Amino acid sequence: MTQAQKTAKAKFKQAIAYRQKTGVSLKEAFAHIYGRKGGAVKKKAAPKKKAAKKVVKKKVAKKVTKKKYGLNLKLDKLYEAKKPGKRIAKKSGKTYYESRKNRSDKGKLLGIGSVLTKAQEIKRLSQLAKTPLEKRIVSILKYKLQDYDNLKSLIEDVLNSGLQSGIISDLVYYNDTLAFYKRYKKEIDILLKDIMNETGSNSPADLFGNKWDKEDFFIQDTNNRNLLAWFGFEEKTRELADKLGY
């Protein structure tokens, strides 16, 4: 046995003895005998996974455009100021009471301190006219307004004097009144029926008196149709005047 072998054998016995004494592993025992830096070889720990950072989205504040309050005189002039009293809100449908003068249900001041031009009056009236008969009346009044300072005066003359006075030249002659009644018969007949129901009348004669031909039961003759043409114009004008607040 060579000297190197003898030395290795001796070192082996020392390592076994050291292992039995300390309880370390054989590898650590040999490291101790040979003077190496011993100790257990620690496994390299797996690199910790970096937790993904939570990206918190910043809430971008919405730009709130402040409503500009104030009067739009051009639009205001198209509407009649409402009187204080019971109102129904357009959006919610709820009932509320307005105690202030010249307030709409939106809280805006309407039609204050301004005089409408004739064109503005007619435009305002046109916006209220919904049916064919109402639109025709607006067209006739628009032409007649040339002789008046304002629409209110014209309507007052029409309602106070009546069409029998000849104030509306379009409805003076029978040819014109009969054509007018024939064209707007449906609306005029409904209007007549409504007023008869409201007044409790049993016959048109209750409304027109001696002017009505009772023998013309089906309204086929000139006289009754002429009366109804004037009646339809006057009553629809009255309704429009009420909407305008006249």
Task: Annotate 152-183 with DSSP letters as a single string.
Answer: HHHHHHHHHH-GGGT-SGGGSSHHHHHHHHHH
Residue 83 has pLDDT above 80, yes or no: no
> CA 70, CA 228: separation in Å to the nearest integer?
47
The mean pLDDT of 169-173, rounded to a whole number, is 95
Q: If you average pLDDT over every residue of the chain, what do you get? A: 79
pLDDT of residue 3: 74
Using CB atoms within 10 A of its CB, is residue 180 exposed (0-12), middle (13-18) or buried (19+)? buried
The mean pLDDT of 67-94, rounded to a whole number, is 60
- Which residues in 56-182 belong to E strands, given as ranges? 85-88, 95-98
pLDDT of residue 79: 56
> Of residues 223 and 57, which shows the higher confidence score?
223
User: Which residues have a Cβ under 8 Å from the Cβ of 239 and sit 6 or more positions away?
Assistant: 134
**Secondary structure letter of residue 101 according to DSSP:** T
Query: By C-alpha distance, which of 49, 45, 48, 18 is closest to 31?
Result: 18
The mean pLDDT of 187-191, rounded to a whole number, is 96
Check if the beta carbon of residue 111 is closer than 8 Å to that of residue 76.
yes
The mean pLDDT of 64-78, rounded to a whole number, is 51
Check if the beta carbon of residue 198 is closer than 8 Å to that of residue 187.
no
> CA 32, CA 22: separation in Å to the nearest integer?
11
Q: Quote the pTM value.
A: 0.55
pLDDT of residue 112: 45
> CA 246, CA 244: separation in Å to the nearest integer?
6
Residue 46 has pLDDT above 50, yes or no: yes
Check if the beta carbon of residue 172 is closer than 8 Å to that of residue 166.
yes
Using CB atoms within 10 A of its CB, is residue 25 exposed (0-12), middle (13-18) or buried (19+)? middle
pLDDT of residue 132: 97
The mean pLDDT of 163-172, rounded to a whole number, is 95
> Of residues 40 and 212, which shows the higher confidence score?
212
Confidence class for position 152, pLDDT limits 50, 70, 90: very high
The mean pLDDT of 113-128, rounded to a whole number, is 84
